[in-house]
Amino acid sequence: MTDNDELLAERRRRSLGPAYRHFFSRPLYLTRGEGVWLFDNDGRKYLDCYNNVASVGHCHPHVVAALHRQASTLNTHTRYLHHAVVEYAEMLAATLPGDLSVCMFVCTGSEANDLAYQIARAVTGNDGAITTSGAYHGNTTLVTELSPDSGRRRPAPDYIVDVEAPYTYRGTFGAGHADYENAYADLVDAAIDTLRERGKAPAMMIIDNIFDAHGILTPGPAYHQAVYRKVRAAGGLMVADEVQSGLCRLGEHYWAFEDVDVIPDIVTMGKPLGDGHPLAAVVTTPDIAAAFANTQHYFNTFGGNPVSTAVGRAVLEVIANENILANVGATGRYLKGGLDELAARHELVGEVRGKGLFLGVELVTDRADRTPATDAARRVVEHMRESGVLIASTGAHSNVLKFRPPMVFRKEHADLVLAALDEALTETV
Ligand code: PMP
């Protein structure tokens, strides 16, 4: 860091306060982005293997042009009629299966999940909520309670019950268990019983379909289908949090829940929708939307404004025009193959997980005991940054390296990541 960077970091400490964190021990000061590349204030180039918000690449010209065009024409809100808002809602709905056709717009994933709970409560008449222990769903007061990973430091309120996530590498049921998916799903019965003992029933269960904060998990259809059956039988709705896993990220379908053959009652989306612009949404069925509207009106000052929705539309156009879904599938398989190959050579790697361009590499100090290699993970992340590749870590022990680049990532970029990781793993042992 130069003196100027130190000064800026100090001003940031004073003006933003201590709750904020930097990714790296030496703060990274980024000043420009283009596609999969980021540039710092010294003009140094970094390969971005972490940022899913810049879903179709940093500063994509088609998206920037759409933003500029609409921002130079009109920006109001959803209490006026505007074609951009309606057209985007129609386009977004067209990416979803079943009856999921009504879009309500917000600005963040947190707001989307908060609204999902309000809808579920209004529609079911219940107020219980089930979440997975280790999950992160956002930062409103309610959603913080639904996010055991947010550093929730006190017991959850009595209407929220956590269930263990299907983490076969460390959880109660390992991959060797004959029917681990149903075994994990059965834990939801206990959660429903707990709510019942408290005189409550579930309004919803919320699942992040890539279990990002848990360390990236991809249980199969049996798990999801059993959970959906149980929650619905108890009168609750299923909420798919696609803030991380959605919009082609897993490389097979637009939405992760499609990979496991379920159709949620409510889908929440955020991060990737606006390629960096704050655009998020709740999508549900006409029946659920109507039942919610019977209980209250909905308005969000910024959510779904004409500029945001013009941006969202441009992102969907890029996804179609540039064949993004197929690219995520092909590049993701290639990157995962390379990570598997590194796992075979580096003792530090316990397990490689994930799908599409959302991959995790769990580091352990020894493979037999599976002791989390938290410190090594931190050093690998820092080492890769020095080599010009940006990643981060996730999971309860921060020992799972996370690879989640813009979806315009290609095989040649994957090669750069694999070479940098090979070197970092070699030097970190
Ligand atoms: N859901 C999931 C799965 C998330 O990972 C996040 C953010 N990391 C959120 C919701 C909240 O989104 P936001 O930060 O836009 O409020």
CATH number at residue 38: 3.90.1150.10
Q: Which residues, other chains included, contact 135 with Cβ-Cβ below 8 Å and sequence gap of 6+?
A: 146, 147, 148, 149, 165, 206, 208, 211, 213, 214
pLDDT higher than 90, residue 154: no
CA distance 187 to 191: 7
Q: To test ligand 1's pocket by mutation, which of 117, 139, 211, 271 has the most ligand atoms within 8 angstroms of CB?
A: 271
Cα separations (Å) of 290 from 55, 179, 293?
32, 39, 5
Q: In angstroms, how far apart are the furthest CA atoms of the chain?
A: 62
Question: Which CATH number is 198's domain given?
Answer: 3.40.640.10
What's the 342 CA to ligand 1 centre distance in angstroms?
30
Band the pLDDT of 428: cuts 50, 70, 90: confident
172 and 32 in one domain? no
What's the pLDDT tens digit per position in 321-368? 999 999 999 999 999 999 999 999 999 999 999 999 999 999 999 999
Residues 73 and 107 both lie in one domain = yes
Ligand 1, atom 10, residue with closest C-alpha? 137
The answer on 387 and 256 residing in a single domain is no
Instruction: Specify the residue with its C-alpha closest to ligand 1, atom 4.
Output: 137
Domain count, the chain: 2
User: Using one digit for the tens of pLDDT, what is the confidence trace for 402-416?
Assistant: 999 999 999 999 999
Residues 6+ apart with CB under 8 A from 86: none
Domain that holds residue 52: 3-56+323-428
Q: State residue 408's pLDDT score.
A: 98
Atom 12, ligand 1: which residue's CA is nearest? Answer: 109
Contact 405, 53 (CB under 8 A): no
Residue in 204, 189, 131, 133 with CA at minimum distance from that of residue 164: 133
- Say how many Å lie between the CA of residue 418 and the centre of ligand 1: 27
What whole-number distance in Å separates Cα of residue 12 and Cα of residue 304? Answer: 31
Q: What is the pLDDT of residues 45-90, one digit of tens each?
A: 999 999 999 999 999 999 999 999 999 999 999 999 999 999 999 9
Answer yes or no: is pLDDT of 152 > 70.
Answer: no
pLDDT bracket for residue 153 (50, 70, 90): low
Let me know whether 313 and 333 are in one domain.
no
Q: Model-level pTM?
A: 0.97
What is the token pair recorded at 141? 């007061």
Nearest to 25 by CA among 386, 401, 422: 386
> What is the predicted pLDDT for the residue at 135?
95
Ligand 1 contact, 270 CB (< 6 A) = yes
Q: Are residues 127 and 101 in the same domain?
A: yes
In terms of residues, how long is the chain? 429
Report the nearest atom of ligand 1 relative to the CA of 208. Answer: 3
Q: Are 5 and 13 spatial neighbours (Cβ–Cβ below 8 Å)?
A: no
Helix H or strand E segment including 350: strand 349-355
Angle among Cα 152, 155, 156 to the nearest 5 degrees reads 80
Q: What is the mean pLDDT of residues 373-381?
A: 98
Together in a domain, 249 and 386: no
> CA-to-CA distance for 73 and 82, rounded, in angstroms?
12
